[in-house]
């Protein structure tokens, strides 16, 4: 048995695992210590038995992605699990990850679920969250976007607007609602006399999701798993801001915050008491005005947005 000391990071585990694999040290012969084991049991360890070493091997890129995510989990058994799966991929079955009923694969799937949680600091400051989100690797969206786009607006705002995901311009400029959809939002806010600088404006998902069509980057709706992965940021920021009113902009934000049963076109503009704020409402996303098929539909969508926001302004005046 060999005790292997590593830092609690994917890179440290990966470097150690490569050496062990090359030496032919099987998972049963390894005790991993990432510093969380206070008292080492080194004295009870004997020299590990080695089997035939492997010098050349390839692992699926998917395993590396999953291992990187699982490494951020707090489960103390994760290093042993990762090495066991790696060993089995190299020595038993290159396609092991396809065997979903396999007990190790099932556990790895659990541990590698995308989530921002390990990256969200305990803090009383939205600015600290804004800084920390730059390092988030909670799902794969960070790989393709220019930067994380966090909120704008004061921490003591009484109203929070929650959109879906940054768009092309937001991604480039690093701020929410600064592109064409932001212009529509600003027009509606001005009409109902709400000042953007008084509002806390954020998105449910912090990295731009898109597909390339020629030179253009076309917005894509984030998948439920990506919305769920990003949710710890939204929970933390709204817990700090504690707005009286939350407005979900669009169906993605509405379903994420008010449940899958929420029907935007039927229930928009209705006040709901939610865990997010005493008064919560959903309305149409400003980009729905831009994407409407024809001018009458654009006008209709804009009127929904403006009239729902007017209810917010009226509520603020009365509170
Ligand atoms: S989209 Fe959210 S969870 Fe995914 S990497 Fe960005 S901040 Fe993290």
The whole-model pTM stands at 0.82
pLDDT of residue 168: 95
Q: Which helix (H) or strand (E) holds 216?
A: strand 216-219
CATH 3.40.470.10 in the chain is located at 117-318
| SS3 of residue 309 by DSSP | helix
- Please report the sign of the dihedral spanned by the C-alpha atoms of residue 286, residue 288, residue 293, residue 294: negative
pLDDT at residue 40, as a whole number: 53
**Residues 96-155: tens digit of each pLDDT:** 999 999 999 999 999 999 999 999 999 999 999 999 999 999 999 999 999 999 999 999
Q: Report the alpha-carbon distance of residue 299 to residue 296 in Å, rounded.
A: 5
The predicted pLDDT at position 35 comes to 87
Residues with CB under 6 A from ligand 1: 116, 133, 136-139, 141-142, 148, 205-207, 226, 229-230, 233
- The arithmetic mean of pLDDT across residues 89-96, rounded, is 96
Q: Which pLDDT score is estimated for 119? A: 93
Ligand 1 mean position, distance from CA 91 (Å)? 34
Q: Calculate how far, in angstroms, residue 167's C-alpha sits from the geometric centre of ligand 1.
A: 14
For the sheet containing 159-163, what is the strand order? 200-203, 159-163, 245-249, 279-283
The mean of the pLDDT values for the chain is: 93
pLDDT at 43 over 60: no
- Measured between alpha carbons, how far is 111 from 303 in angstroms, rounded to an integer? 45
Average pLDDT, integer, range 43-48: 59
CATH 2.60.40.10 fits 117-318, yes or no: no
pLDDT score of 47 more than 80: no
Q: C-alpha 282: how far from its chain's center? A: 21
Select from 113, 170, 150, 132 the least CA-distant residue to 241.
150
Burial 250-262 (b: 16+ CB within 10 A, else e): bbbbbbbbbeeeb
Q: Please tell me the distance from the alpha carbon of residue 277 to that of residue 281, in angstroms, as a whole number.
A: 10
CB neighbourhood size of 40 (10 A) = 12
């Amino acid at each position: 048995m060999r005790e292997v000391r590593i830092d609690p990071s994917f890179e440290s585990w990966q470097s150690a695992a490569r050496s062990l694999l090359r030496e032919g040290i099987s998972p049963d012969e390894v005790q991993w210590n990432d510093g969380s084991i206070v008292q080492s049991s080194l004295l009870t360890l004997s020299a590990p038995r080695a089997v035939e070493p492997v010098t050349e091997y390839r692992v699926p890129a998917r395993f590396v992605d999953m291992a990187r995510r699982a490494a951020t989990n707090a489960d103390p058994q994760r290093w042993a699990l990762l090495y066991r799966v790696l060993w089995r991929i190299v020595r038993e079955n290159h396609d092991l990850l396809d065997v979903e009923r396999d007990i190790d694969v099932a556990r790895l799937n659990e541990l590698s679920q995308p989530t921002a949680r390990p990256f969200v600091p305990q803090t009383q400051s939205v600015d600290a969250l804004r800084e920390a989100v730059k390092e988030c690797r909670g799902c794969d969206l960070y790989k393709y976007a220019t930067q994380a786009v966090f909120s704008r607006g004061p921490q003591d705002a009484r109203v929070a607007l929650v959109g879906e995901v940054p768009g092309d311009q937001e991604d480039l400029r690093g701020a929410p609602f600064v592109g064409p959809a932001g212009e529509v939002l600003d027009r509606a806010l001005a009409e109902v006399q709400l000042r953007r600088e008084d509002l806390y404006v954020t998105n449910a998902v912090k990295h731009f999701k898109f597909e390339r069509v020629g030179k253009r980057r076309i917005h894509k709706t984030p998948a439920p798993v990506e919305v769920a992965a990003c949710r710890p940021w939204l929970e933390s920021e709204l817990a700090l801001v504690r707005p009286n009113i939350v407005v979900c902009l669009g169906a993605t934000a509405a379903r994420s915050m008010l449940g899958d049963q929420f029907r935007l076109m039927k229930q928009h503009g209705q006040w709901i008491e939610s865990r997010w704020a005493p008064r919560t409402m959903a309305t149409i996303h400003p980009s729905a005005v831009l994407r409407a098929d024809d001018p009458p539909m654009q006008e209709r969508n804009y009127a929904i947005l403006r009239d729902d926001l007017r209810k917010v302004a009226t509520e603020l005046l009365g509170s």
